[in-house]
A and B are shown apart, each in its own frame.
Chain A
Amino acid sequence: EIVLTQSPGTLSLSPGDRATLSCRASQVVNSNYLTWYQQKPGQAPRLLIYGASRRATGIPDRFSGSGSATDFTLTISRLEPEDFAVYYCQQYGRLPRTFGQGTKVEIK
C-alpha cells in the first residue's frame, strides 16, 4: 500500500501567516488522486482539496493544493482563526485508500 508521510507534525503559526503543509507518498499517486481534509476536535473530516488541486465546493480560495507524483502541498495563504486544526492528506489512486498521519496547525 502507499504510505503517506506528512510534515511537519505540528506547525505553530499566527493568524495572518502563510501555512505550507507537505505530503509525500512512498509511490507515485496515480492521476494525482490526492485529497486534503481539515478536521477539528469532535468533528468529521471536511474535504478541502481533491485531485491534488481542485477546491471543493464552498472552500475559501486561501486554501490551495499543488504537486504531483509523490510530492504534494497544501497552502493556506493567510491563516484565519478558524483554520487552526489538523490536516490530513489521503490518496485514492490505488487501493487501499490511505491517509497521512496528519499535521496540526496550532496558534503560536
Chain B
Amino acid sequence: QVQLQESGPRLVKPSGTLSLTCRVSGDSVSGSYWWIWVRQSPGKGLEWIGEIHHSGSTNYNPSLKSRVTISVDKAQNQFSLKVTSVTAADTAVYFCAREPTNDYGRTDSWGQGTLVTVSS
C-alpha cells in the first residue's frame, strides 16, 4: 500500500519560495505514474498545480506556470514542488497524489496535505 507524505516549511515570507517534498513509501517514484500536486486555499475549492511523469515530462497550470517547478528525486524516492515569488494568495493546503499511467484518471493515492502560510 503506497503512502505519500508532504513535508516542508509551514511559513514562507512574501516574495520568497515555497518548497515542499512528497515522500513516497511502498512504491517507487520510478514506476509508471504521474506524480501530482493540488492545492486548496482555506475554505475554498481545489486547484490542480501540475504533474510530472516518471519519464520526467511535466505539465503545469498556466495560472502558475512561470513560478512552478516539479521535479523527481529517484535516489530519495520523492518528488518536489517549488513555487517562487509567493504572495498571500499562495496560502493553501498542498496535497501530493499519484496516478497510474496505465489507468488514466485513477488518482486514488493522496498525501494528507500540509498547510503552507505566506506571511511576514
A residues neighboring B (CB under 8 Å): 1, 33, 35, 37, 39, 43-47, 50-51, 54, 56-57, 88, 90, 92, 95-102
Contact = CB atoms under 8 A, between A and B. Distances in A.
A97 to B, nearest CB: 4
Interface residues of B, number: 21
Nearest to B95: A44
Given A90-B46, A101-B45, A44 B111 contact: yes
Contacts of B25: none
B48 A98 contact: yes
Interface stretch (B69-77, B83-91, B99-107): B99-107
Interface SS of B by simple majority: loop
Contact of A56 (B61, B62, B97, B108): B108
Interface of B: 38, 45-48, 59-63, 95, 97, 104-108, 110-113
- The interface centre, meaning the residue of A44, A47, A88 with most chain B CB atoms within 10 A of its CB, is A44
A44 B95 CA distance: 7
Contact of B48 (A39, A54, A96, A100): A96
Nearest to A4: B45
B22 to A, nearest CB: 12
